[in-house]
Amino acid sequence: MLETVKTSNLGYPRLGEKREWKQLLESYWRHEIDDHQFEIAAKRLRLLNLQKQLAFGVTHIPVADNSNYDHVLDTMAAFNLVPERFGSYNRPLHLSEYFAVARGTDKNVPADMTKWFNTNYHYTVPEFDHTQPRLLDNRWLRYWQEAKDALHIDGKPVILGPVSLIKLGKINGTYVTEADHINTLLDQLLPIYGEVFQQLAAAGVSWVQLDEPTLVQLTHADDVLPYQKMAAYLHRVAPTINIVLQTYFDAIDPFEAVMKLPVQAIGLDFVHDHGENLKHIQQIGFPKDKILAAGIIDGHNVWASDLTEKVQLAKTLQGYAPKIWLQPSNSLLHVPITTKYEAARDDTIYHALAFADEKIKELGIIAKACNQQDVTKALTQNQQALNHLKLAPFRHHPNVKARVNALDESQFKRKSDYHTRQKIQAAALKLPFLPTTTIGSFPQSATVRAKRAAWRQGKLTDQAYDMFIASEIKRWIRLQERIGFDVLVHGEFERTDMVEYFGQKLGGFLATKNGWVQSYGSRAVRPPVIYGDVYYQEPITVDKSVYAQSLTDKPVKGMITAPLTIINWSFVRDDITRATVQNQIALALREEVLNLEQAGIKIIQVDEPALREGLPLKVRHWQAYLDAAVAAFKITTTGVQDQTQIHTHMCYSDFDDIIDTITNLDADVISIETARSRGEIIAAFERTHYTKQIGLGVYDIHATRLPNISEIAANIQRGLQVINPKQFWVNPDCGLKTRTEEQVIIALTRLQAARDRVVLKHQEA
């Protein structure tokens, strides 16, 4: 029987089933292997990923979706778009040169890094100042040829489209939004893309996946003009190449204009589109001369799809677009690889999970059903698994539902206004001018990781492990005291990850065994799975905070993760609203905050780094999201007395969009990232009169290069130009868990010295 419905994948996870890619990168950075050894191992992993997709029956397999660090950085390196401070090249970058852009050097700060749309993945931000674009490396052809030679796969090269590449970058520290700038850069880049496509065509490539995710952020038909220019040019210079113009993460607003673009297929997201892409197709139709690449499987979450529903959706779409590919809603980069290592878990939950491999298998089942093949057994098993989870008694807790329903105004408001609280806190804490602190975590050394692994494997008793953690806390309290910091932290040595740790302690969460997902570079996180109602089981951080506070006369911050960040960095149950889950988490964390206060902790930091990154891509959805975020934060924090100081932390944010929300959180102190963006974020506070206390990060912890005292002092002075000195805190950009102990001690010593230098200068003035 002729199979009219095909399957396609948009991208496969890079980490390896057991994080082999992460280990490979870090071995290279430690100089344990050379370039040749690295390339051999990387190729082995690439081909393994392709073999799996081939075995699963994927019709259109992506190639060049792999990366040695980040796919945007790959595009920058291929086109000589690396920041000017790293040089200009006439040849492909060596590995060491490539990694220097991402990680920095002794002489140069790394390229800026921020979140990829509303995900927890970080991408390298292109800097278009003084660049001279030229094609240095057709990596798309190399990896296509590799797949063809080794596995006889006629792959689908995945390339980030030129318009999105431009819009994701900056000129003079500002994101490229002006039409003139977009057109000027597009004129420079299109000939290079043309070279790539012509070389692909000459080699016999059939399909190219051209990712233009910024299409979902457009509002008017006129906004489509740069994409029209791009598509027309590529069709003219490489007419034999079939292009699938791929979008994801939301719906297309100027639908008719996009449907007219001269491409052979258009990829649409039918999962995260709020139902709008389907509505457009039903009302407007879909071009008969194009293939619909329909993203119907959720590429963001880990729950098994309702395959009966998905088959019906696919058949509905066939009625409007007879030529159809079935694919995930977005690249599977954002989910773990396989559930097979979770088999020892509760069967009810395990059988309702679908990681990358399982999602690809789901696509195959749906395609077979659309092609009139018998998939009755698979559909029955799928329904049974979903029903077992739906009816599982452990998923529902009536008292949790009752508490959410009973929320009232008193749980959304501090007892006094900020100015009253500030006076009370100043008298209680007696902090110096420009107080210094850190964001929370200290290095997770090899010794710390080894002790944790031994404890988990039963090779170390609970008592011995607790004694080791206590010794690390004590050692770092003493180090902070010696450096001279004013507000200390316990270091979070007991935590693998700021979200995973809380997921292990709260009811309703499942910690996976091997559910790793890439965050940036070799950094992998293991998001917890929220399978049921969330509730507080027992104190989570109190004992460590109390112990740390007992070691010093200086205040020690209690450290917890806020509800929105927990939900944004977790895989969330999909049977109730996210706002409901968020409030469940907030009520649980409220108990932890009150327990910290009762135990004598005077400063409590409720970290919300994911607030801005999770902002919906369309402005019309912002307010509901931000209102829910503020509500959950206030539920968590408003039960404390006036003298308890509430801090929060955010990173990688464009704060102009959410400055009112930051104010509405009503935190006493907020710390934010500014060093990596070289102070650009401070401009948001130049335009807005912010009245509460703020710590502008003055040391970029993600760079291997350590700043000198003068650089940190300059960052402090820059902040003091727009922030009242009485409001100002001095701190690093982010937590320090990924740095070495030597790096941290040097950097924090310099930070303290820079603060002292600025204080002295201020006193002299």
Active site residue ranges: 702
Any binding-site annotation on 22?
A: yes
Round to the nearest angstrom and report the end-to-end CA distance of the chain: 85
Burial environment of residue 467 by CB neighbours within 10 A (0 to 12, 13 to 18, 19 or more):
exposed
d(CA 748, CA 730): 11
Helix (H, G, I), strand (E, B) or coil at 419: helix
Tokens of 747: 């950097």
Any binding-site annotation on 120?
A: yes
* Residue whose entry in the numeric block shows the structure tokens 């693998």: 496
Query: What does the DSSP 8-state code read for residue 575?
Result: S
Any binding-site annotation on 492?
A: yes
Helix (H, G, I), strand (E, B) or coil at 604: strand
* Residue whose entry in the numeric block shows the structure tokens 């980030």: 160
Query: Beta strand pairing status for 517-520 and 523-525?
Result: antiparallel
Cβ 264 vs Cβ 243: under 8 Å: yes
Any binding-site annotation on 88?
A: no
Cβ 304 vs Cβ 353: under 8 Å: yes
Tokens of 653: 């944010």
Q: Among residues 647, 424, 641, which one has the least CA distance to residue 557?
A: 647
Any binding-site annotation on 607?
A: yes
Q: Among residues 526, 501, 509, 512, which one has the least CA distance to residue 440?
A: 501
DSSP 336-404: -S-SGGGTTS-HHHHTTB--HHHHHHHHHHHHHHHTT---HHHHHHHHHHHHHHHH-GGG--HHHHHHH
- Say how many C-beta atoms besides its own lie within 10 A of residue 380's C-beta: 12
Query: Beta strand pairing status for 122-124 and 113-115?
Result: antiparallel
Q: Alpha carbon 315 to chain centroid distance?
A: 33
Tokens of 431: 């902090």
Helix (H, G, I), strand (E, B) or coil at 723: coil
Q: How many alpha carbons fall within 13 Å on the CB side of residue 256?
A: 5
Cβ 371 vs Cβ 1: under 8 Å: yes
d(CA 7, CA 364): 7
Query: What does the DSSP 8-state code read for residue 140?
Result: H
Q: Alpha carbon 461 to chain centroid distance?
A: 35
Q: Where are the alpha helices (DSSP H) in 56-103?
A: 71-78, 95-103
Cβ 705 vs Cβ 106: under 8 Å: yes
d(CA 571, CA 516): 12
**Which stretch of DSSP H or E encloses residue 115?**
strand 113-115
- Say how many C-beta atoms besides its own lie within 10 A of residue 242's C-beta: 15
| Cβ density class 34-66: b for 16+ within 10 Å, e for less | eeeebeebbeebbeebbebbeebebbbbbbbbb
Burial environment of residue 521 by CB neighbours within 10 A (0 to 12, 13 to 18, 19 or more):
buried
Helix (H, G, I), strand (E, B) or coil at 711: helix
Tell me which amino acid residue 24 is: L
Q: Alpha carbon 434 to chain centroid distance?
A: 31
Tell me which amino acid residue 315 is: K
Any binding-site annotation on 724?
A: no
d(CA 631, CA 634): 5
Tokens of 18: 């057991």
Give the CA-trace dihedral at 398, 401, 405, 408, to 10 degrees.
110
Any binding-site annotation on 36?
A: no
Any binding-site annotation on 266?
A: no
Any binding-site annotation on 673?
A: yes
Any binding-site annotation on 441?
A: yes
Q: Among residues 82, 86, 64, which one has the least CA distance to residue 73?
A: 82
Binding residues for L-homocysteine: 439-441, 607
List, as residue ranges, the binding site.
22, 120, 439-441, 492, 569, 607, 649, 651, 673, 734
Annotated binding site for 5-methyltetrahydropteroyltri-L-glutamate: 22, 120, 569
Q: Which residues are annotated as a binding site for L-methionine?
A: 439-441, 492, 607
What residues are designated binding site for Zn(2+)?
A: 649, 651, 673, 734
